Structure 1
Amino acid sequence: MAARSGGIGPAFVGRSRELDVVGALVQRAVDGESGGLLVFGDAGVGKTALVQQACSNADPDALVLVGACLRLTSMTVPFLAIRSALRAAPRDVVSLPQLPPGDTPANVPVAFDAWIDDLCRERPVVLVIDDLHWADRSTLDVLMYLLAGPAQRRLALIVTARAGELGDDNVLQRWLADIRRLPRVEELALEPLDRVETGDQIAQLLGAAPHQSLVEDVFAHTHGNAYLNRLVVHDLTATARHLPPDLPGDLKSAVLESWRSLTSAARELTRIVAVGGRPVHPRQLSDVTSRPVDAVLPLLHEAVDAGVLDQSARGGYWFHHPMIAELLQQSLDPDERVRWHAAFAAHYEKTVTDAAPTADGSTPVEPMVAVADHHYRAYHPAEAYRWALRASDAVGAVGGVSEMLRLLRRAVDLREQLGSAVEDRQELLLRLMQAACDAGAHEEELRAIHLLLDEVQRDAQPLLVAELLVRRAHLRFTVGHAFLSASDMRSAVAFASREPASWQHAFALAELAHAKIWQGDPGAPALADQALAGARTSGHPRALSYALTAKAMSALVGGDAEEAVGRATEAVDASVAARDYWAYFNAAVWEANALEIWASRTFADRLRLRREQLAALGAPHPYLAMLSAEEASSWLAVGDWRECLDRLRVALGSDPGPFADVSARLAAARLAALQGRPAEARGHLDRADEVFIASSGYPNFTFDAVRAEVCLAGGDPAGAVEAALAGANSPGMPPTMCEWLLPLAARGLADQVEAVRVVGGDPTPLLRAVDGLTARFPSVIRDFGLPTELWRRQVRALEGLYLAEVARAREDADNQGRWVAVIDDCHEGQLAWEEAYACWRAAQALLVRGHQRERAASVLRRGLALAEELEALPLQTELEELARTARIPFGRVDSGAPSERTNRSASSARLPGLTSRELEILDHVVAGRTYGEIARALVISEKTVSSHISNLLRKTGAANRVDLARLARARQGRPRGM
């Protein structure tokens, strides 16, 4: 996902709400109202970066003065932060006040305030003081006087401070109490980055979208601290999937900085707390360490005062940042660590034994889990195994599916180390499989199924084998190993057919029909009918849901929308009764498909409804992420990119699992490509390819079309053609977004033809490829499904786009009419991105070939308004440049000379055969200057300008000055359009 904010550094992401708060304060100062803002947060959370980012976005007339307080140990420098702000002042700030050395004179706050007052009359002033927790008293006095100053002046005062370094007796604490009573002073508590923002920051630091497993590792360690994120990935490459076991030395130093300030006794005790692994109470530490509570409490309080530990409302103590615990555990000698784990195991085992039963008669869960964990880390395998099983039952009873899965996974591993165990291995694996299913841990569930298939007696348990084979096929599909395999389903049907009245037989038949529908097998509908009859006879909701979905798919392929909707809706209800979330996802998507095509608001709205229902059912995040990612693609297709971003944040808010990861990556890659961030787009696509290696083998994903769009955004039209044709020529059912493939292929060819013509090359081989394309595909590929009116309009729009791109390659003289028609067709088809693109091409054709200035101006402004709303920056740039060249006003003033625009000078393009004066004039033509403006700029006559432009048209073969500017820009090799 894109980081929407720009930045002063390479890794500023997110923080839109916080930026709005700081930006509003600065804007009020620009408007004449003074105010102050206190920004609090942990060390490294990003306070300074936030303020710098907000100031970089401020009014350019505002003067930003930045000073910093320093932690000096042997001396005090009066007005230190104020002095540093004045030293860093721009050179155009004259008459800086002279601050006296030594102790604070009483008149300094007044004098400095008067100087600020004079400065604010000239321009708005933003005074930033960083790290206020180290401020000297004289600086605090000056800031107090400024904040208490006049309300009507153009001053914004922003200070940052570490929340964990403001002790009860601190001078700053008393200063803050007074400041909070003043009007126009606000506070902003800066929280760590969330998981999505952490992923965005890592992407910027590594230069590509990271693998989700790396994001999980980093977030688990840093909890979103921006500075720690930077340190922890410093030596990694973009292909890293996990953090190395040994964390960087700089990270350890930063994390343990406050801990090293503790006394040796407090450091020793906090190491023991770290071994405990969870919040501990003083009496627990007393029992574990055999120390009196009165000896433990002062050390805990010392750690709290230093910001190392926090005390919860329930009286427990745990680390302010969990990474401190991890590093302190690592710092212990292994034997010492084992000894303390054994002590904690004994303590918690006694706690469980002595605990009174809860109201429902059960034993408290948390100490049981602690016993299991500490026995495991103390290398007591038999005790760890026994307590892992006992604790897994306890946490499962209260809905802790993830914790239950972790404990069962450990029990399975420990069972192999024990000579004997009471529990049957197959039964244990079935429990593990179910726990993984409940947690949405698809890869873990798949591993359990592989182990079970090796364990079960196939002749004695054919129904279990059939169920496992079908579920294995689902999971292999979900984790990207293979698309739904008809051969696997046939094997499952063969095993289940030994009991044809069983629900497993109907289940296997339904999924065999499902796989065959994707293959276009004409026998699939009959299998779906047979599966549905068997499922209704068995009365099993799981089999019924899959059979109904297969029947819905069959009806949709056959064109019966009414039946498809009814069957899919019934399938959703059956999946709820079965609590089968994979069945729910499958049924919900096909229900939406039966209502309207995927590129529609209707489709997205239905998925939103089902996602909200699934969340209410308590489904694990990977299934919610799967629906969210599908929904995001639909919102993006209809141009609602903000809603798309919101859904991607839901999908990636926690580990989404491979399926949703890929789906979200493809949507994010497409959005980045359309909005002009090709490197980000390529990173997302690369990660999707990592997860699903045989990407083109998944027809329900958009790999081929998105790959083509990413190639176009990156200036690789040949790669776009290759990607689009890979999807167009794929066997079986056409892939999602198949209707886009041929327009994208034609566009790639047209771009290549234009590039060859610009340099005077021979485009004949490329034109033969265009002819071959239209001979092989005379019209766009149509996906199977419901031929709704919206679908017909989209097909008509994409068909028109295909033909217009072909005509562009062939330089058809009357192609402007095609482009104009495509604009309206795209609008009727709710294809906003394509509509904006068509506006650019239509305006270009009308100006270059059609000489229809008024109509071109209308089309151009329409496209520019769309591009601005979509934030399609490449298109916006093309349309603005076209408007300047044609001297069409579009609501913006470009006062810069040609060389001042962002890389828009054409002189570097070096069109062959031009003189230096002609190249100079060409720069002005590209910038949209009139003959008179060029003449005045170059101190020549308009007649001479006209003569030079006539020569330029003759030498380049351009039809007019608009065409000339187009050729010059194309010569620069810049990626064009979306």
Structure 2
Amino acid sequence: MFVGRTDELDTLNVALARARAGEPQALLLGGEAGVGKTRLVEEFATAAGRHAVVAVGGCVEIGADGLPFAPFSTALRALRDALPEEFAAAARGQEEELARLLPDLGEAGAGRHDEQGMARLFELTARLLERVAAEHPVVLVLEDLHWADASTRHLLAFLFRTLRAGRLLVLASYRSDDIHRRHPLRPLLAELDRLRTVRRIELARFTRAEVGRQIAGIRAAEPDPAQVDEIFERSDGNAFFVEELAVAACDGCCAGLTDSLRDLLLVRVEALPESAQRVARVVAEGGSTVEYRLIAAVAQLGEDDLIEALRAAVGANILTVTPAGDGYRFRHSLVREAVADDLLPGERSRLNRRYAEALEADPTLVPADARVMRLASYWYHAHDPAKALPAVLDASVVARRRHAYTEQLGLLERAMELWDNVPEEVRSALRPVDYTEVYPPCGCDPATPLRYLDLMAEAAVAGRFGGERERALKITKRALRLLEDDPDPLRAAWFWVQRSRLVQALARGDGWQELATAQDLVRGLPPSEVHAEVLALAAGWSMLHRPGREAFAAAERAVEYAHMVGARDIELHARLTLGGLKVDAGDTETGLAEMRQVLRDTLAEGVHYVAGRAYVNLPSELQSIGRDREAVPLLREGIAFARAHGQMDAESWIRGNLSEALYSLGDWAEAAETAGHATRVGHSAKPRGQGALRLAHLALARGDLAEASRRLAAARAHYGTHDPMPQLSLPLARVALGVAAEEGRIADARAELLQALDAGFPPGTQRYGWPLLRAAATAEAEARSLPAAEPGRAGILDRLGEAVRTLTTGVPLWRAYEQWTRAELRRAKGTDTADDWSQVVTAFECLDRPYELARVRHRLAGALLADGGDEERDRAAELLRLAAAVAAHLDARSLADAVARLAQRARLTLTRAPRQALAAADPAAALGLTSRERDVLRLVSAGRTNRQIAEELFISPKTASVHVSNILSKLGVSGRGEAAAVAHRLGLFPAETLTARTAG
């Protein structure tokens, strides 16, 4: 009989109702051992099965080891069995990657192992669940998290953080009294407690009344109140203990019970026949669940005797048959733990040896996906180093293939522990090719025996990939000490490269000192994969930190060496870096062509992680030279690619770049939405920081200084201070300077500028340097009338002028920024003229940047009004009207307010355009229409729909819609018909031209 738990069941049922309505739910169910968690889950799952597909998986304990991803593998298998067609459709195209979780899908792809490997698998798993749950409500139950391996914990945390769609409910249970201060589940629970989307349920013990109802259900009769009092007092309301005490009382042995918990748990086991007790001991040491055939091989009983022993154990409610019907498990884990703890030390190792020998003799005794891990555990706990070392190493390979890097690290550490206790002849028979994958020096001679250093190398990388960076750093330190006694430059350089990456990941520095040491070690050595990787990483580091000739030379040599030794991945990486350096150095088309070719090559060859980087870097270089519209389709393509291949960091970087491009092109609503996505999807801190920075920039432009400051602080927290890069520090300084200037803190604004000027603008950073210099010049111009700004003004203006003279102006965008900055500097001195601003407006009219164009039009209008003539007033009014339209469309409140104040002072009306301006020689330019907007307006005038416009101009319908909205705003009209009428009245498109160009 199910007793109590009304409130908890209500909570679960409400969550299921929300999940069925399309709002994913995440719940944690905690409680001490025996309090009734499994019973509650079973009751809920039975009822939920009428409305949803219920997939249950439990964490598996084998000795002291958990199986990687065991609960997810079991649950996904159940989900596939329940919804085979839907599951197959959701997994289509990603079967090789998802096979790491569910081997039934086929052979897991070899793939590439990197720090994003686990994140890719997690992203694909989340998308799989969302797709399967799109039409069918799904309840995913994961039990016994206190036994969960690290990979399972990481995947669960990822799901709880990222699930945003699908009719899905995820319920995870754990034993709260096992979560001691150092338990690995404890940090996860603390992290999940901070998520508003996760609800936590704690099961309390039964009250006396509930204990009475439970006893009545067990005995099928009303119990004696005195007995209820006694059992309630002794059990303290723990449901499992209540049952044990009640059954013991029914069997007439209550008087013989002691107060020892272990004795209470063993009392029913000790009442079994000796053969049944023997079988119970065998099952207890075999793991959470043990297959029947394996029990038979280890127990060494006749078949009839074994079945009778199992029947007795099942009949006494000690063991229960597994749901699949192929094995047995203890009905409650507390009893299994008590039986296992009662084993003698020699008895335990002997049982583990029997398990291992049986499994070696017949590998089919256990499921294929668990065989290697269980064999490693059995041999290790049998205390046989010679047998355990190869088994543990085999298990480490399986863990690596499943991207269970933390488990791989633990197994490799176990192998290192066993190493010295293994006979030399056993060690010499092991080969690096069988157990290592990420350590190039191992591949020099396949016949060379496996070395201790090889294990350390594999363990260091496993720790880096699995997030166990402190453990990995200690391993590299030990390895480099060993290499001091036995010098090997290639191996040492390889370990220094790992230290560089770990130091950066741990925020201990920028990693250059370690990379420089690696370069010194390989200098003068023949080309090798390690040599090529060191050069490629040095070039990539320099491109981000100190671009210049050294970076260029390193990238060229990396390409050459990688090609010579056949290291294709490294070659593609280095070529991509080299292309970016060429663009930054002014060889624009050559560099872009190289980067485009790398993207094509990586897609054709399936080098997905380099392709992900290409989708970040190539559009970024296009944006750096003002070709944002050309970059947008690539960025959208890159987002789709990154999502399809689970590259969350790449997706976050791409979304940040797309947000910047959309900002430049005047689609601020989508820019904000895209930046918000970037802050959520990134696996690492820096890509999420870029999204926060884009949001800060948008908030500043919209005049929301509080939001800008908040987002700026978030970006700084994500970036940290350990690894300064111009591409991060300069945009941060630009926003910080803008916020300080808007708040009247001119001293703080100057401090941000001086810090940037002191650091300098390395080659390739002009895309970040020009906006910063322009913002600083604007701040000085705006503060010209403030007495507090006068001290130090001359020095600041001199520094700005010097920086303007030295910064590159190789493309139209940078030249336009140079002219704008110089005009602002003259305004700061009170010497700017309408001619100055007219040149700036002309420069920006050739660019596709409506916000910047509106701002400089506002400046030109102010200069024209200062001249005071009627013609100047008419032109100023038209410029202000255009600027106001853009500010209103973008919700750029600061600009809108500035335009309104200027118009009010000049007593100008901004509601319609003066006839003189409309009759200008180039009315389209006067209206602020870009070349693309002219093309769109031409098709609007011809009666085309947004979809037809998109097809003719090779853009998306959404982009066409954005252009139409911008056109309506700039023309000051409310509909497409009015826009066509204005175009006709102004003679923008002669009838014969329109007919000739649209007839096709």
TM-score (norm 2): 0.50
Kindly indicate which of the two structures has a greater share of residues assigned to helix.
2
Q: State the match for 1:491 in structure 2.
A: 517
Instruction: Give SS of 2:624's match.
Output: coil
From 698, 706, 716, the equivalent of 2:735 is 706
From 201, 214, 237, the equivalent of 1:256 is 201
**CA displacement at 1:626 relative to structure 2:** 3.8
Instruction: Give SS of 1:256's match.
Output: strand
Q: State the match for 1:409 in structure 2.
A: 409
Change (3 A) 1:861 1:640: same
Counterpart CA distance in 1 for 2:883 and 2:574 is 47
Structure 2 regions of 5+ residues with no counterpart? 1-12, 24-43, 52-125, 128-152, 171-185, 215-237, 244-264, 266-283, 293-308, 327-331, 428-450, 913-1000
**CA displacement at 1:742 relative to structure 2:** 1.2
Query: Quick check: 1:217–1:242 contact (8 Å CA) kept in 2?
Result: no
Q: State the match for 2:262 in structure 1.
A: none
Q: State the match for 1:954 in structure 2.
A: none
Query: Quick check: 1:670–1:710 contact (8 Å CA) kept in 2?
Result: no
Change (3 A) 1:514 1:408: closer
Q: Which amino acid in the other structure matches residue 879 of structure 2?
A: V
Q: State the match for 2:755 in structure 1.
A: 726
Instruction: Give SS of 1:504's match.
Output: helix
Counterpart CA distance in 1 for 2:355 and 2:703 is 62
1:789-828 superposed matches below 5 A: 791-792=811-812, 794-812=813-831, 814=833, 818-819=836-837, 821-828=839-846
**CA displacement at 1:407 relative to structure 2:** 0.5
Counterpart CA distance in 1 for 2:157 and 2:471 is 21
Instruction: Give SS of 1:724's match.
Output: helix
Q: Which amino acid in the other structure matches residue 886 of structure 2?
A: L
* 1:42 pairs with 2:33: no
Counterpart CA distance in 2 for 1:668 and 1:366 is 47
* 1:753 pairs with 2:784: yes
Query: Quick check: 2:638–2:651 contact (8 Å CA) kept in 1?
Result: no
Query: Quick check: 2:903–2:910 contact (8 Å CA) kept in 1?
Result: yes
Query: Quick check: 1:625–1:652 contact (8 Å CA) kept in 2?
Result: yes
Q: Deviations over 1:236-282 (max 9, x none)?
A: xxxxx97895998999997337877996679659999xx9xx99999
**CA displacement at 1:524 relative to structure 2:** 5.4
RMSD: 6.5
* 1:504 pairs with 2:449: no
**Which deviates more from structure 2 when the two are superposed, residues 350-359 or residues 475-484?**
350-359
Q: Deviations over 1:676-734 (max 9, x none)?
A: 44334333433443454447831233333233234345554432332233223324615
Q: Which amino acid in the other structure matches residue 863 of structure 1?
A: A
Change (3 A) 1:880 1:267: farther
**CA displacement at 1:862 relative to structure 2:** 2.4
* 1:888 pairs with 2:909: yes
Change (3 A) 1:251 1:799: closer
Q: State the match for 1:870 in structure 2.
A: 890
**CA displacement at 1:740 relative to structure 2:** 0.9
Q: Deviations over 1:797-834 (max 9, x none)?
A: 3223323333443344745x545654453343333443
Change (3 A) 1:223 1:355: farther
Q: Deviations over 1:490-524 (max 9, x none)?
A: 53344334641323334434444555666455465
From 653, 668, 684, the equivalent of 1:657 is 684
Instruction: Give SS of 2:575's match.
Output: helix
From 671, 688, 693, the equivalent of 1:666 is 693
Query: Quick check: 1:668–1:684 contact (8 Å CA) kept in 2?
Result: yes
In the alignment of these two chains, the number of paired residues is 641
Q: Deviations over 1:449-504 (max 9, x none)?
A: 5554445468543223233434544565566554573x644533443346413233
Q: Which amino acid in the other structure matches residue 765 of structure 1?
A: P
From 852, 859, 869, the equivalent of 1:834 is 852
Change (3 A) 1:218 1:477: closer
Q: State the match for 1:765 in structure 2.
A: 791
**CA displacement at 1:296 relative to structure 2:** 12
1:45-194 superposed matches below 5 A: none
Query: Quick check: 2:359–2:375 contact (8 Å CA) kept in 1?
Result: no
Q: State the match for 1:35 in structure 2.
A: none
1:418-433 superposed matches below 5 A: 425-433=452-460
Query: Quick check: 1:545–1:575 contact (8 Å CA) kept in 2?
Result: yes
Change (3 A) 1:634 1:598: farther
* 1:737 pairs with 2:772: no
Change (3 A) 1:685 1:536: same
Counterpart CA distance in 2 for 1:261 and 1:542 is 61
Identity %: 19
Query: Quick check: 2:473–2:502 contact (8 Å CA) kept in 1?
Result: yes
Query: Quick check: 2:615–2:635 contact (8 Å CA) kept in 1?
Result: yes
Query: Quick check: 2:356–2:375 contact (8 Å CA) kept in 1?
Result: no
From 490, 506, 510, the equivalent of 1:463 is 490
1:510-521 superposed matches below 5 A: 510-512=536-538, 519=546, 521=548
Change (3 A) 1:559 1:824: closer
Query: Quick check: 2:696–2:711 contact (8 Å CA) kept in 1?
Result: yes
**Which deviates more from structure 2 when the two are superposed, residues 689-698 or residues 414-423?**
414-423
Counterpart CA distance in 2 for 1:746 and 1:337 is 78
Q: Which amino acid in the other structure matches residue 772 of structure 2?
A: L
**CA displacement at 1:541 relative to structure 2:** 1.2
Change (3 A) 1:452 1:219: same
Q: State the match for 1:394 in structure 2.
A: 398
Instruction: Give SS of 1:829's match.
Output: coil
Query: Quick check: 1:679–1:714 contact (8 Å CA) kept in 2?
Result: no
Counterpart CA distance in 1 for 2:611 and 2:601 is 8
Counterpart CA distance in 2 for 1:830 and 1:727 is 28
Query: Quick check: 2:547–2:581 contact (8 Å CA) kept in 1?
Result: no
**CA displacement at 1:744 relative to structure 2:** 1.1
Counterpart CA distance in 1 for 2:202 and 2:568 is 58
Query: Quick check: 2:504–2:723 contact (8 Å CA) kept in 1?
Result: no
**CA displacement at 1:636 relative to structure 2:** 3.5
**CA displacement at 1:651 relative to structure 2:** 4.0
Query: Quick check: 1:674–1:872 contact (8 Å CA) kept in 2?
Result: yes
Query: Quick check: 2:464–2:502 contact (8 Å CA) kept in 1?
Result: no
Q: State the match for 1:143 in structure 2.
A: none
Counterpart CA distance in 1 for 2:890 and 2:203 is 47
TM-score (norm 1): 0.51
Q: Deviations over 1:104-153 (max 9, x none)?
A: xxxxxxxxxxxxxxxxxxxxxxxxxxxxxxxxxxxxxxxxxxxxxxxxxx
